[in-house]
Structure 1
Amino acid sequence: MDELFDAGDPATEKHLRMLATDLIAWFTTIGKDGAPRAVPVWFFWDEGRIYVLSEPGTVKVANIRRDPRVLMHLNADGPHGDDVLVFRGTVEITDGGVTEWLERFREPYEAKYREAIAAYGMPLEKMAEVFSTLITFTPTHKLGW
């Protein structure tokens, strides 16, 4: 099991389920004015890493290039807003890395986002062209309950 998740913690199963099934995460970067900037993103969790596909010219990509401090959290759904999962970590940007990444993760990514991709109205191959920058976020700290 990933080092951030304690098998003895009762919230671990819930958190891993949230990472597998939640469609939106909030990705927070530091803007050039020093203020935090949070945007909703699609994400994919695999073996301790969170992957985000992005258009190369976005503010979040520019912010990461300038300051790699990133915070990512899932929506606090739960019956009382109590399903909380927040990560801090390191981030890498791979320009043009999405096509290669999709060779490995196409099936599970399509399974997770099938309805969202259909609603977006852009086939995955076209999305890989448009959202061609791969952001790889490796959580180093977790806050959750």
Structure 2
Amino acid sequence: MTTTDALSSHEPVVDPGTEFGKHVTERFRKDTVAWLTTVGSSGTPQPNPVWFLWDGTEFLIFSQPDQAKLRNIARNPRVSLHLNSTETGGDVVILTGDARIDPEGATPPEIVQYTRKYTGGLVDIGMTDEQFYSSYSVVVRVRPDRLRGF
């Protein structure tokens, strides 16, 4: 198992200069679904599948307003984010960190990158990009401070 901790809040936890970091970065580029786990009001973990974009430092996630995950993040910003493993439990990627609601929203370049990554997904759910960004109008950013996996 590989574990990486950020030494400071400004230092990325994924180092693409390492073999594991390269592999994880490629997974972030190719994988389309991650599991965001927030903590519910009862203290119970609440996993939700999400689409995401990784910029090398944080994850960008869009959410519909008035979702439990947003209330959970407002109450407790500590979250985990993990990718699906293989059928036999290999290729594990788990991150922990802090999530925040970004009232500024996504930047135009982020929207372009996100739309490019999820063009097929938008077709699959029967939405145009305009419909998606109107419905999923809340931006969540997750800055991981720990990565582990194998």
TM-score by length of 2: 0.85
Amino acid paired to 2:93: L
**Alignment match, 2:108:** 103
Q: Secondary structure at the match of 1:142?
A: strand
The answer to which of 119-128 and 6-15 deviates more is: 6-15
Amino acid paired to 1:57: D
Q: Supply the distance in 1 between the matched residues of 2:83 and 2:136 (Cα, whole angstroms).
A: 21
Q: Supply the distance in 1 between the matched residues of 2:73 and 2:14 (Cα, whole angstroms).
A: 26
Please provide the CA RMSD for this pair: 1.8
**Alignment match, 1:139:** 144
Q: How does 1:3-42 map to 2 (within 5 A)?
A: 3-6=12-15, 9-42=18-51
**Could you say which structure has the higher helix fraction?**
1
CA-to-aligned-CA distance 1:11-34 (integer Å, 9 cap, x gap): 222111001110000000000011
Q: Does 1:82 align with 2:90?
A: yes
CA-to-aligned-CA distance 1:22-76 (integer Å, 9 cap, x gap): 0000000000011101010001101211011001100100111111110110111
TM-score by length of 1: 0.88
8 Å CA contact 2:37, 2:81 repeated in 1: yes
Which blocks of at least 5 consecutive residues in structure 1 are unaligned? none
Amino acid paired to 1:125: E
Q: Secondary structure at the match of 2:102?
A: strand
Q: Select which of 49, 57, 70 maps to 2:66.
A: 57
Which blocks of at least 5 consecutive residues in structure 2 are unaligned? 1-10
Structure 1 residue ranges, 4+ long, deviating more than 2 angstroms after superposition: 5-10
Q: Supply the distance in 1 between the matched residues of 2:130 and 2:104 (Cα, whole angstroms).
A: 13
- % identical equivalent positions: 31
1:7/1:58 Cα in 2 relative to 1: closer, same or farther (>3 Å)?
A: closer
Q: How many residues align?
A: 140
